[in-house]
Amino acid sequence: MQRLKGWQRVSELIDQRHLIDGKPDIATEINGYEVCQKQVGDCSVLSSLAVAAHYEFKHKWQKKLISWLIYPQDTKGNPIFNPTGKYVVKLFVNGAARGITVDDYFPVNQYGNFIGAYSNRGKLWVSLIEKAYLKLHGGYEFSGSKASRDLYILTRWLPETVNFDSSDFKSEEQWARIQKFNALNKVLITLSTSTIADEDAIGLVGTHAYAVLEIFQYKQYRMLLIKNPWGHFSWKGKFAYGDKNWTPELKQALGYDNFKEDHGVFWMDWESVMTYFRGIELNWDPTLFVY
């Protein structure tokens, strides 16, 4: 890793050493908005983390999907800060659970800044899970993956890839399918792009993975809330912030003003998604297939 200067303990990088919510011994909530990619090429992993964390956020911890992977834990199964800096992250490899031991030393550049992923709320969970995942795959020199595969390793939810240019792809049927199962909280969704000639003009990154945090249909509008794991650089086309296609009704329904700042989270309509993305990756709740 060319930008690597060394390794520092988390206590040397942040003042408040916390795992989830700002208190070392209490865990309350995580969300998909806080996941931020840095210089490691693991956008698929971090999009997967964002989707899974957002699922947990929507359930208000009634159904844990990602936080329960980290040990040590309290009596309620919530991850807690370990002052010795040692953690175990549970991942699912070849169908079986496997504990990956990591410490709280993270790679930094010459300025003492994180090279790996982090939470923009100052939490440890993003960096710990990323480190464990990359350790399983040989280290921070990660060559890339598919988000549906990554989500399977993180959650055991079953992967499926749907290519928009496939001869058997049917737009209306696919929209109805993802809308139905998203409402039932039975599917996790990510997106992937092909090469994009003018990224700056479009506001999308080529050969990149994105997380889908919400799916929403309001009257004739079919909308997806999408997150770039970079934590910045947003879509500039139809229904971007400031675009003329927004109506007062739609702004109110989708919380338009919540996305004024560029944190890499943006709304995009289904037709634009099919135009600018290569395909959609789905991970299905395994209980759908239990008879």
Which residues are tagged catalytic?
43, 208, 228
Rounded CA gap, 107 and 139, in Å? 11
Q: Is 195 exposed, middle or buried (0-12, 13-18, 19+ CB in 10 A)?
A: exposed
Closest CA to 28 of 71, 59, 72, 49: 59
| Nearest C-alpha neighbor of 212 from the set 157, 131, 126, 279 | 279
d(CA 231, CA 208): 13
- Tracing tokens 């944190």 back to the chain, one arrives at 263
Evaluate whether 169 touches 156 at the Cβ level (below 8 Å).
no
Residues 6+ apart with CB under 8 A from 123: 18, 19, 20, 21, 22, 30, 34
Strand intervals (E) in 143-278: 158-163, 187-192, 209-218, 221-227, 265-269
Sign of the dihedral defined by the CA atoms of residues 244, 247, 253, 256, in that order: positive
Q: Which residue(s) pair with 159 in the sheet?
A: 283
- Asked whether the bond before 72 is cis by omega within 30 degrees of 0, the reply is yes
> What DSSP letter does each residue of 73-101 carry, written as one string?
B-TTS-B---TT-EEEEEEEETTEEEEEE
Q: Which two tokens stand for residue 35?
A: 């996941």
